[in-house]
A = this chain, B = another copy of it.
Amino acid sequence: MSKASAVELASTPRAGRATRLSFGAAVNAAQRQAMELDENVFVFGIGADGKAGIFGSTAGLKERFSARRVFDTPISEQSLTALAAGAANAGLRPVLVHQRFDFLLYSADQIANWIGPWRYISGGHATMPLTIRAIVGKGWGQGPQHSKSLHSWFAHLPGMQVVMPGSPADAKGLLLSSIFSNDPTLFIEGRSLYAMEEEVPDEPYFIRLGRALVRRPGKDVTLVAIGSLVPGGLEAAEQLAAERIEVEVVDLRTLVPLDLETVLASVGRTGRLVVADPGWRDFGAAAEVIASVCERVGPALKAAPQRVTWPHRYAPTSAPLEAGYYPTSADIVRACKSAVAGI
């Protein structure tokens, strides 16, 4: 596998002012600006209009845009999703918020049987420009019913886009793009990212869906990091740099569209692949990344690819068990080292 091509970091300069924002505040800002840009955008979900504003992510929107465009709901995930679908077909751009990913499972029928196929089934005539935001719980005993992240389920559905930001600035740019995309999008937010802060451009901006980001160059091993494991991946890369192992960190940003080109280019340089995926191991998203790469480069890999994922079990509630449950940067360090060693 050739190492010829130099690393190309996408580095479009940012114009204008920026403000240090938390992930939650960036999500909030994206919705606010989307609603300012387009009267068709509205935001709804359990607690969306409350003072707490779904971990702050919708706080103040109702005051700014009135109850017509920002509203609370009954606990009716199925019909709320159908409402979004019917409204999107009519040209609105609904944003439906779920405090926990687990709750949206009630609406799996609406997503898989109606929303995913909608445009295709119509022969390409109808559209379905809706966004479903789902927050994944983590820690403090969220347990089996508040910590699921079944992103691979929805990535498996033709017609659905699945977005998983790993930083505040990406959250804003990707959410704006999701809302204004003409296709249905599941936008997944790690609750554990909510406090993370970063400089976020003030103006509305759009990160094209389907463009992975090389967050750190490196020649020894490609680490594809997804969503809430992006920070841990960068931390691992930093640690490994001290040991002279150079990890190239590719933040996937979107599962669908999948930017295989960027991943393949990186693996072409490093010859080694580790995937860090904040979800269950078996039949999960990491498997797709590995399978897609292996299909194309096959025996040219220098080492067996590896997955760093949640163990294949439900999150236990007991604090020490939970602490041992979620993978950390140390697990990523270990995987990268073994990939490098396993030449």
Give me the interface of A with B, judged by CB distance under 8 Å.
Answer: 102, 105-106, 108-109, 112-113, 116-117, 120-121, 143-145, 148, 150, 152-153, 155-159, 255-256, 258, 280, 282-288, 290-292, 294-307, 312-314, 342
Cα separation A159 to B121 with both chains bound (whole Å): 34
Known: A158-B313, A314-B159. A288 touches B282 (CB 8 A): yes
Residues of B within 8 A of A157 (CB): 280
Partner of A112, one of B148, B284, B299: B148
- Interchain nearest-CB distance for A85 vs B (Å): 14
Q: Is the CB–CB distance between A156 and B291 below 8 Å? A: no
Q: Chain B residues near A121 (CB, 8 Å)?
A: 143-144, 314
**Which listed residue (B109, B258, B294) contacts A108, Cβ 8 A?**
B109
**CB proximity of A79 to chain B, nearest CB, Å:** 13
Contact partner of A145 (CB less than 8 A), chosen from B117, B150, B152, B280, is B117
- Minimal Cβ-Cβ distance residue in B for A105: B109
Work out how many copies of this chain go into the complex.
2
Between A and B, 16 residue pairs with Cβ closer than 8 Å are A105-B108, A105-B112, A113-B145, A121-B144, A150-B156, A153-B153, A153-B156, A156-B280, A158-B314, A284-B288, A295-B307, A296-B304, A298-B301, A299-B299, A299-B300, A299-B302
Q: Given A108-B109, A285-B283, A305 and B294 touching (CB < 8 A)?
A: yes
Report whether A304 and B314 are in contact in the complex, using a CB–CB cutoff of 8 Å. no
Residues of chain B with a CB closer than 8 A to A150's CB: 112, 153, 156
Which of B152, B286, B305 meets A298, CB within 8 Å?
Answer: B305
The winner among A108, A255, A301, A342 for most chain B CB atoms within 10 A is A108
A157–B105 Cα gap in the complex (Å)?
13
Query: Which 6 pairs between the two chains have the least Cβ-Cβ distance?
Result: A298-B304, A108-B108, A287-B291, A117-B144, A290-B291, A156-B283
Residue from B106, B255, B282, B301 within 8 A of A155 (CB atoms): B282
Distance in angstroms between the alpha carbons of A295 and B152 in the assembled complex: 19
A304's nearest neighbour on chain B, judged by CB, is B298
Docked CA distance A298–B105 (Å): 35
Residue of B nearest to A116 (CB): B314
**Which single residue of chain B is at the shortest CB-CB distance from A273?**
B294
A120 to chain B, nearest CB (A): 6
> A295 to B296, alpha carbons, bound, how many Å?
15
Listed residue (A256, A298, A314) with the most chain B CB atoms within 10 angstroms of its CB? A298
Q: Would you give the shortest CB distance from A214 to chain B, in whole angstroms?
A: 23
Across the two chains, which residue of chain B brings its CB closest to A306? B295
Contacts of A301 in B (CB 8 A): 294, 298-299
Contact of A144 with B156 at beta-carbon distance under 8 Å, contacts A106-B109, A295-B290, A302-B299 already known: no
- Given A106-B109, A283-B285, A291-B287, verify A117-B299 contact (CB < 8 Å): no
A312 touches B155 (CB 8 A): no
Who on chain B is nearest to A114 by CB? B145
In the assembly, what is the distance between CA of A298 and CA of B283, in Å?
A: 18
Complex Cα distance A256/B283, Å? 10
Contact B109 A314 (CB under 8 A): no
11 more CB-based (< 8 A) A-B contacts, given A150-B153, A284-B288: A102-B113, A117-B145, A158-B312, A158-B314, A286-B291, A290-B290, A291-B305, A295-B305, A295-B306, A296-B304, A299-B302
